[in-house]
Structure 1
Amino acid sequence: MAQASTIYALSSGKLPAGVAVVRISGPHVPDAIPTLTGRPTLSPRVATLADIRGEDGSVIDKALCIHFPAPKSFTGEDVLEIQLHGSRAVVTALLDRLATLEGFEPAEPGAFTMRAFLNGHIDLTAAEALSDLIVAETEAQRKLALANADGAQRRLYEDWRKQLISIWASVEADLDFSDQEDVPDEFGNAFVGPIGMLISAIEDHLRGFAAAEIINDGYHIVVAGPPNSGKSSLINYLAKREVAIVTDIAGTTRDLIDIRIEIGGHLVRITDTAGLRDAQDVVELIGIERAHSAMRQADLVLLLDDGSNAPIDVPEEGMLKVYTKADVVDHIHAPRISTRTGEGVEALVTHIADMIDEHIGVFDTIPSRARHVAELTSCLSSLKSATTLAEPELIAEELRKAADALGRTTGAVDVEELLGDIFSRFCIGK
């Protein structure tokens, strides 16, 4: 899909930097090469050192220039990438020069990736995965985003859609030949088995979204316990900075305090809470209620026990009791930790990492966004409806709706209204 304009942007991030990369994409790139470099052409996909010149012919900077001729480029258009020194003055001078060229305009967020999609170089799931890869904070997020950017989701959804279209075609053929006397009776029910297999496969796939949510949003741990049991000390120890106030005065923590750390390659959100006790202070009571609310929503509750044997009303499910102040009290139970000496903390972190791995399980290709879940759920609904119907015309219509829902996951059909929302989330230059 040809674009009338040529877009440009800084693609390498915040300045100043050792190297800055300015990306240019569009039909005017071949004409811009001699204008910018003084060379008639550049060897395709070869880094060439050239003087980048301003409108008056003066040298802006010496830069490495790489020309990716269409269609063998990220966007499918002619692309020129200029690698120059990453000072604000140098990059501003180049961007100002590009603004003077006819047909050139600054790129909006996600504009390069949108052109790659519109030119058929990537599908919507890959575009979303690229966005996730850019903001990935952990190893698990990187692996999930990279697998989907490489087309894992697209291949799975396209395979399902091909199977579905084949079933749909069989039903349509049944309609065309329904007046023929020699058509076997079982012909009209031949689709039931294949549809059932598709339903099972999609349902299994959807169950993986729980793992994707944990990978992308973080495994949520709530640290709970009576006052002065070491909750804030543990939070500070794990964060490696003073996040929460630590004193000997009971009830210091009144509100929820969150930190984000990486454990075993996974993003983990840890919440410090108010000490659990029979309090009279109105503000402290609000904090305790918020603590109970956070525990109900957590993936794991770390219940800290300092040996005081204070009665704590917390659910047993999803709870791990941890004995604290191991350097003061010799507990016979495990796990036990001391944030003063560090005893047992690394073992606790390793145990938590194992729990997260067990919770997530081994994942291959899983739906990474709520949008995918919504479309796949719509597909499932139509498939299940098709298995309950007797009229071939109605069955064919449900199969068409199911195929369209699968097509929307990859952007094969009817996604214009989604494009602005998806690509606006990218940074400029991508």
Structure 2
Amino acid sequence: MQVGDTIMALSSGALPSGVAVIRLSGPLVRSSLDSLAGNVPEPRLMALRAIGSDRRLDQGLVVFFPGPHSFTGEDCAELHVHGSAAGVKAILAELRALGLRLAEPGEFTRRAFENGKLDLLAVEGLGDLLAADTEKQRQQALARYDGRLTQDIEQWREMLLDLRAEIEARLDFSDESDVTEDLPEDWLTQLADLEIAIAGALASVDSGRIVREGIRVALAGAPNVGKSSLLNALAKSDIAIVSEEAGTTRDVREMPLDIGGQLFVLLDLAGLRETESVAEAEGVRRAQQAIESADIVLWLKAPDIEDADRPAQAARMLIVGTKADIGLVPDADLALSTKTGAGLEELVTRLGALAQALAGGEPSLLSHERDRDSLTQALEALAEARTALGDWELAAESLRRASAALERLIGRLDAEKVLDRLFASFCIGK
């Protein structure tokens, strides 16, 4: 990425399409519109124009967003033209001749960040919003993008500034008569309130992660208990091979499922048993790892199959009796049949209830591992400040480190370490 370049990109997806949106940002936007669309339209008002300099390439709507009041903070424009591959190619070629270059993935958003239009939390929220598949993911991402989490962080930073001011006053003005050695009576109360607020936010990271990444549900049990059949029934598609031969599943197969706006990731696993097959043994090992990392385990038992040894430690476990059309399994939490469909609706209802318990009501806005790391560092620094109150310099340094952890979360420190990886996942044109 080169600062000062004017960039362009097709922002509307694959061609052909009904409409194609070509996005521009940078110092050459005005001159490009003069050349390509006759002149620069009134700001933020769409104008119907012939598109082309020396020859007419297309006809479409042109809109201009002058900086700094634009998405990137620079002069921006959009050309809404017909979604013809040949037409878009010709327009991009003419723009290239005018000095523009194709944008890199996420470069529009990166310019918005660097020009102070978005902080790092909002950038991550935008990325999550683009990737959202379910209603809860959309709600979570949009709230993060809108700055609700930033407001909380800024409030904590203000509280920290007040706490730091009292400590640093005793460092810088210890010889002044109006600065006493003792801290104000409510100083420790304010510190405790800040610790409680950050600790509560930290405790919500797991529920936020579940919304963003999905609840991982392991379908586990002995071979031939009906794991692949259940996966197919829930997916309403034959995505997994079903065979009477035991051990046909050798790897972890993942299938996303939207239940009530919550993303579930179903894991079809190899049946657990002792085996001399090297390939099947590897499948069993991977199945055991998946069970250990799952949020929910559906332990499947069938009336015609001997039960396998259940894992000693697992997440929330639901015992599911399969093949209910040929018989019932004792001690099962529910019974179902993938042949008749009996019990499938009840299973979906039970999964929805478990999701409510795991993810809670309104989705947590803290959902990235970076969130956990920054809040953990801030909380540890506050605890160190509390124990170091006998030494003003140590206490002040601990409070500075707590502030730095929160600033790192917003993106005011060490942002470059996060940006390259983050924007690599963005689509070109965003």
The question of a shared fold, defined as TM-score above 0.5 by the shorter chain, is answered with yes
CA–CA separation in structure 2 for the residues paired with 1:16 and 1:339 = 41
CA–CA separation in structure 2 for the residues paired with 1:429 and 1:232 = 40
Pick closer, same or farther for the CA change 1:194–1:232 going to 2, 3 Å: same
Counterpart position of 2:238: 242
Counterpart position of 1:371: 370
Counterpart position of 1:46: 45
Pick closer, same or farther for the CA change 1:43–1:385 going to 2, 3 Å: same
Counterpart position of 2:26: 26
Deviation (angstroms), 1:279: 4.5
CA–CA separation in structure 1 for the residues paired with 2:88 and 2:337 = 52
CA–CA separation in structure 2 for the residues paired with 1:3 and 1:279 = 60
> Are 2:205 and 1:209 equivalent residues in the alignment?
yes
Contact 2:206 2:367 in 1 (8 A): no
Contact 1:264 1:350 in 2 (8 A): no
Q: Secondary structure at the match of 2:183?
A: helix
Deviation (angstroms), 1:52: 0.3
Counterpart position of 1:199: 195
Q: Give 1:64's match in structure 2, choosing from 61, 70, 73.
A: 61
> Are 2:112 and 1:99 equivalent residues in the alignment?
no
Counterpart position of 2:425: 425
Match of 1:276, as an amino acid?
Answer: L
Deviation (angstroms), 1:160: 0.7
CA–CA separation in structure 1 for the residues paired with 2:311 and 2:271 = 16
Matches within 5 A, 1:388-399: 388-389=387-388, 390-399=390-399
Counterpart position of 1:261: 257
Deviation digits for residues 229-274 of structure 1 (CA, Å, limit 9, x no counterpart): 2111111112222222212223333333222222222222212223
Q: Secondary structure at the match of 1:187?
A: coil
Matches within 5 A, 1:215-294: 215-279=211-275, 281-294=277-290
Match of 1:307, as an amino acid?
Answer: P
Which of 341-350 and 59-68 deviates more?
Answer: 341-350
> Are 2:74 and 1:77 equivalent residues in the alignment?
yes
Deviation (angstroms), 1:155: 0.9
TM norm structure 2: 0.92
Deviation (angstroms), 1:414: 4.2
Count of residue pairs the alignment pairs up:
425
Deviation digits for residues 204-236 of structure 1 (CA, Å, limit 9, x no counterpart): 101111112222222111112233221111111
Pick closer, same or farther for the CA change 1:281–1:36 going to 2, 3 Å: closer
Question: Which structure 1 segments of 5+ residues have no match?
Answer: none
Deviation digits for residues 323-368 of structure 1 (CA, Å, limit 9, x no counterpart): 1222232568652111112111122112101111211113454322
**Backbone CA RMSD of aligned residues:** 2.2
Counterpart position of 2:146: 150
CA–CA separation in structure 2 for the residues paired with 1:308 and 1:41 = 75
Q: Secondary structure at the match of 1:158?
A: helix
TM norm structure 1: 0.92
Contact 1:205 1:366 in 2 (8 A): no
CA–CA separation in structure 2 for the residues paired with 1:86 and 1:424 = 26
Match of 1:347, as an amino acid?
Answer: E
> Are 2:405 and 1:405 equivalent residues in the alignment?
yes
CA–CA separation in structure 2 for the residues paired with 1:44 and 1:89 = 29
Deviation (angstroms), 1:315: 4.0
